A and B are shown apart, each in its own frame.
Chain A
Amino acid sequence: MSPWVLAGLVGAALVGLGLYGLILHPHPLRKLLAFNLIGSGVFLVFGIVARRGAAAGFSFDPIPQAMVITGIVVAFAASALAVALILRLHAESGRVTLDPEAWTKPDDGAAKS
């Protein structure tokens, strides 16, 4: 098995695991971790994409690498923002859930005719 096939398989596995977690795990922190898993998988795909430079005579195409670095920074920023929100939410309310019912105030539906 060549390294890039292995990288592709690992990337696919990471994306799959991440998708499972992102969709099914109710806790926001787990969702965030799952997002990072998918992100890693996608960055691996970028790594494989960089191989295309080989055809043009380069040993590697540098642009996807630049993109991966940018992507990692963006994902890091996103994670930081999400963690800050989770912490703040926990500090304000003592619980962390995304269930919309939990945040519906009782008087919201009361005036419904």
Chain B
Amino acid sequence: MMPPDPTTPGGALLVLAILLPCAGIILSFVLGGRNAERVALGLTPFGFALACAIAFHVASAGKPIVYALGGLAPPLGIALRADGVSAVMLVAAAVILTAAGFYARAKFATPEGGPESRSALTFWIMLQAIWAALTIIFVGGDLFNLYVALELLTFAAVPLVCIDGRPETLAAALRYLLFALFGSISYLLGVALFYGAYGTLDIPLLAQRVQSTPIVWLAAALMTGGLLAKTALFPLHLWLPPAHANAPAAASAVLSGLVVKGSFFLTLRLWFYVLPALSAAGAANILGALALAAIITGSVLALRQARLKLLIAYSTVAQIGYLFLVFPLATGAHVWSGIGWSAGVMQILAHAFAKAAMFLSAGLLAEALGHDQIARFAGAARALPMTFLTLGLGGLSLMGLPPSGGFSAKWLMLQASVASGQWVWTLPVLAGGLLAAGYVYRILTPALSEGDIMLKAPPKRSREAIALGLALIALALGFAPQGFFDLLEIGRPLAAGTLQ
């Protein structure tokens, strides 16, 4: 007997959200030239509206919205599912991708009647491909389906790294791709083991069936290892600094702000949605220890970089560490796990917006000054006040000073650490904040000191405004009302006792 079709009202929105960027890719490819840009930018408002509509549906229904593809319910069919976190991530991705797209117009525009450039076409198509892949990752409900989305995400991100074709960027892209493939094959093996053990890859069904057997732990370990490689959690970060620091600014913003969050999101799905029934304190502590190492090493390395973009890239290594603190702080069904969960999601969002803003600013800075050597910034803040304001505000969030999303995240993390008696995790949270203050200080102090500076070209005000807007969103997250945190709880196993 077939199980009933689980599709809920609003479920079709999920399909639309995936189809929209896919259609954009095909249209851009077929029409080419200036039209690729028009299509990509023209679709952004619709993508944003769809994301908002999904968030609205989830919030008003108070439970996840589901769409069963072809009307077939799992385990035979594949279901798309958007819960609170997916909805929030969809909206964040839409905002950042839109911002990056409009920012990139200056660099990847095709002039009227001019020849079509390969890099422009690649950029617009890959931007939409990232959007499609992220959407599938956020709403996908089937582990194999998510594997394909994860690969799509990597394949779209790699060309963005080497879009200008310089040898060092090509090498960085190749390093990224090969290590990501290492990760994906590990993930895939885990998927095979899960299927072998339980005959389904649907997340809620698996969550009901999993038991603490060696095969499950092996599958989880393989999948997690693969996802960590793609997320660049220390010490698997070999590919990240060159890839993120050498890509064009708009691409760096997307790569650092969103792409690493895609694989991190799947890590969350795995441990909090597939395996919530198992006692995973040991694994959570291992991830916490890696997070600690990432925060300290990444921040210290950021402090020692001579180039702004490399500094920001190493700061991403550190901030990825913060993301993984969610595992020790939110695992299990405790009073404090809810706080840890809110902290983790807040950290994803705060870092996404702050880091995107900082990379966009760094790009403007490099274009205006002709270099991004921090030691030669003297007087730059006077010449580029808005750009440095953005860097400063983004830095505020990274340091975790109020009012900012970064502050909220740290504040909740500290509360969860103390309430759970895991004082050890306060150490990386605080030390990371101090070190972040150090590297932000290192950027701003020379810039604010006296000095004469020659601008090659003043940046366009609209591009500065885009970066500033993202930084302001990172700050506004610090004022998130309780309703926002309630939304994050929708669909979280253990949150409302959905899984006994």
Contact = CB atoms under 8 A, between A and B. Distances in A.
Interface string A59-83: 0010110010011001001100110
Contact of A97 (B171, B173, B182): B171
B189 interface: yes
A88 B170 contact: yes
Interface of B: 144, 147-148, 151, 155, 158-159, 162, 165-168, 170-175, 177-178, 181-182, 184-185, 188-189, 191-193, 195-196, 199, 238, 242, 304, 306-307, 310, 373-376
Contacts of A78: 151, 155, 177, 181, 184
Contacts of A46: 192, 195
Contacts of A97: 171
A112 B50 CA distance: 47
A42 B181 contact: no
B178 A31 contact: yes
A103 B171 contact: yes
What are the nearest 6 A-B pairs in CB distance?
Answer: A93-B167, A49-B196, A103-B168, A89-B170, A111-B375, A111-B306
B162 A112 contact: no
Contacts of A71: 188
Contacts of A63: 195
A42 B189 contact: yes
7 contacts: A39-B185, A46-B192, A70-B148, A77-B151, A81-B155, A82-B178, A88-B165
A52 B199 contact: yes
- Size range of the interface on A? 35 or more
Given A45-B192, A82-B174, A97-B171, A67 B144 contact: yes
A98 interface: yes
Interface of A: 15, 22, 28, 31-32, 35, 38-39, 42, 45-46, 48-49, 52, 61, 63-64, 67, 70-71, 74, 77-78, 81-82, 85-86, 88-89, 92-93, 97-98, 100, 102-103, 105, 108-113
Given A35-B185, A48-B196, A70-B144, 19 more contacts: A32-B178, A39-B185, A42-B188, A49-B192, A49-B193, A49-B196, A61-B199, A63-B195, A64-B195, A67-B144, A67-B192, A77-B151, A77-B155, A78-B177, A82-B181, A89-B174, A100-B238, A111-B306, A111-B374
Given A78-B155, A85-B177, A111-B373, A98 B185 contact: no
A39 B310 CA distance: 34
Nearest to A55: B199
Contact of A98 (B175, B181, B195): B175
A15 B186 CA distance: 10
Nearest to A100: B242
